[in-house]
Amino acid sequence: MGRLGELEPVPRRSTVEIVSAELRAAILYGSLAPGTQLGEAELAARLGISRGPLREAMQRLVQEGLLHSEPHRGLFVVTLDHDDVEDVYRARLAVEREACRLVMARNRGEAVARLTEALEGLVTAARERDRVAMSDADQAFHQVLVSASGSPRLERMAQTLLVETRMCLNALQDTYPEPEELVEEHRRLVDAIADGAEDRLLLLIEEHMIDSVERLRPAP
Amino acid sequence: MGRLGELEPVPRRSTVEIVSAELRAAILYGSLAPGTQLGEAELAARLGISRGPLREAMQRLVQEGLLHSEPHRGLFVVTLDHDDVEDVYRARLAVEREACRLVMARNRGEAVARLTEALEGLVTAARERDRVAMSDADQAFHQVLVSASGSPRLERMAQTLLVETRMCLNALQDTYPEPEELVEEHRRLVDAIADGAEDRLLLLIEEHMIDSVERLRPAP
DNA sequence: GCCGCTACGATTGTCGACAATCTGCCGCAG
DNA sequence: CTGCGGCAGATTGTCGACAATCGTAGCGGC
């Protein structure tokens, strides 16, 4: 919310926006599994809209890379192979590394505050051994990190990449790090920011990505 | 082309793809100026299609960030202010830096070859003092650089960012670097890759971005 | 004279119907 | 029995028409 009662534009969301967010969430939580074909008629009926707006929303996800289109055949949820997993984390590294640099340069205070809050969510989820909540909190943490950088473009890129990350995790649901380890990795990131230790932070974020992709390696 | 007569999928492009590419190009070359409203009826007529497919194509550009939508009002070409210019180059730095790392790690040979070719195009354009051709060649160079990294996600991000870069240049058409200087900056990049000097390359690419945003600063 | 209300024209948002294309099945010839 | 050709059903692609919303011009009231 805009602080101090500032007048901000009312967030009037168009139908396309709502529907594309809906689809994105469905892909993120795996209720639209990789490889699934999206039948237009059925989906439109389930969403209570006609095919027109639905098709527009789907084109957004195509551009995002979450769907791929085979002309005259249909739209399918992308399936990520191991190379893609690597690629996702590599791209995330590029984005989040720059985000870290920005945060250190111009927004440390607020970042630490918001990240500490996000970290608490992760701690709670870890304590309860709730994998979905942990994924949610993990994603939220990184979203906050990039958001705190104040770069709209990095933020937009990160959003897509985080969805793809979740797809990886869903596909390989078994291998998920020890909750404590995951919490610690994130806590160290917050500490580094709080300490103003940029070099350490950059090393940590790189390690964090390498660890993540490593954990996903032995799977098929 | 796939070498040695390999059988690749025929590049059947859907209408939406063609139209969105068309629009992207129109924005890139400034024939759809920033702030312009895209009247659906008129555009559809000019493209010889109906509003349906056009709207789908436009949603792709919205997701890309090249258009922004005001519900019940219309779609507009984004206008980039100075903060956006900074943001674009910052995001490019993030992407291209990682691309440089990848190129060094696993594709130096091919990269040097393709980049040398791209550099020649830039030299030709510079010799003829053709600003548009120089922009084209500049863009092509960086596209090749990221493409040589072999990372589909970096490549996709870079594509959008390069279009936005062009929008900046179009808006501030007057300030464009000395042709020789521009050529030299790029030649140094190729040399660094050829020499296998990663640290130097990373410094150069960072400088390249800083220089670029600096050149665009004094303008309104 | 200025402000607010109302009616109109224009544009966007949505829908249902039609055309084009693909997939799978069936029949038929070899 | 195998392979080809073609037909039928289903799905995607496209279109034109209708409904909803917005901006504006004009009118009336204060």
- List pLDDT tens digits, range A152-209: 999 999 999 999 999 999 887 767 778 899 999 999 999 999 999 999 999 999 999 9
Provide mean pLDDT across the span B42-52. Answer: 97
Given a cut of 80, whether residue B218 has pLDDT beyond it is no
Are residues B53 and B136 both part of a single domain?
no
Between A and B, how many CB-CB pairs are < 8 A?
A: 91
- CB contact under 8 Å between B60 and A63, yes or no, is yes
Given a cut of 60, whether residue B1 has pLDDT beyond it is no
For helices A82-106 and B82-106, angle between their N-to-C axes, nearest 10 degrees: 140
Last residue of a domain, one of B59, B77, B95: B77
Q: Give the residue whose CA sits closest to D23 at C1'.
A: B73
Q: Which residue has the higher pLDDT, A204 or B174?
A: A204
Beta strands A67-70; A74-77: pairing state? antiparallel
Provide mean pLDDT across the span B38-47. Answer: 97
Phi first, then psi: give them for residue B154, nearest 5 degrees.
-60, -40
* CA–centroid distance for B34 within its chain: 16
**pLDDT for residue A219:** 55
Cβ contact B50 with chain D strand, < 7 A = yes
- CB contact under 8 Å between B153 and A65, yes or no, is yes
Closest CA to B159 of B72, B43, B65, B58: B65
Q: Which domain holds residue B36?
A: 15-77
B153 close to A (CB below 8 A): yes
Q: Is residue A191 part of a domain?
A: yes
Provide mean pLDDT across the span B157-180. Answer: 88
Q: What percent of chain A has pLDDT over 90?
A: 86
Residue whose entry in the numeric block shows the structure tokens 């909190």:
A137
Q: What percent of chain B has pLDDT over 90?
A: 86
Are residues A53 and A91 both part of a single domain?
no
- CB contact under 8 Å between B154 and A64, yes or no, is no
Are residues A126 and A192 both part of a single domain?
yes
Are residues A66 and A92 both part of a single domain?
no
Given a cut of 60, whether residue B4 has pLDDT beyond it is no
Of the listed ranges A210-214, B9-13, B25-29, the least confidently predicted one is B9-13
Provide mean pLDDT across the span B108-134. Answer: 96
* CA–centroid distance for B176 within its chain: 16
Dig out the tokens for A105 from the structure: 């340069």
Encode pLDDT of A130-153 as tens digits. 999 999 999 999 999 999 999 999
**pLDDT for residue A4:** 59
Distance D4 C1' – A202 CA (angstroms):
64
Provide mean pLDDT across the span B46-60. Answer: 98
Given a cut of 80, whether residue B175 has pLDDT beyond it is no
Instruction: Show residues of chain A in contact with B17, CB under 8 Å.
Output: 69
**pLDDT for residue B215:** 86
CATH no. for residue A62? Answer: 1.10.10.10
A64 close to B (CB below 8 A): yes
**pLDDT for residue A144:** 98
**pLDDT for residue A172:** 78
Of the listed ranges A3-7, A39-43, A95-99, the least confidently predicted one is A3-7
The total domain count for chain B is 2
Distance C8 C1' – A20 CA (angstroms):
35
Dig out the tokens for A188 from the structure: 């160290």
Distance D20 C1' – A26 CA (angstroms):
29
Given a cut of 60, whether residue B2 has pLDDT beyond it is no
Encode pLDDT of B70-105 as tens digits. 999 999 999 999 999 999 999 999 999 999 999 999
Q: Is residue A6 part of a domain?
A: no
Point out which residues pair with A68 in neighbouring strands.
Answer: A76
Last residue of a domain, one of A77, A100, A118: A77
Given a cut of 90, whether residue A10 has pLDDT beyond it is no
Are residues A33 and A131 both part of a single domain?
no
For helices B15-28 and B152-171, angle between their N-to-C axes, nearest 10 degrees: 40
CATH no. for residue B98? Answer: 1.20.120.530
Q: How far apart are CA B152 and CA B158, in angstroms?
A: 10
A189, A115 Cβ separation under 8 angstroms:
yes
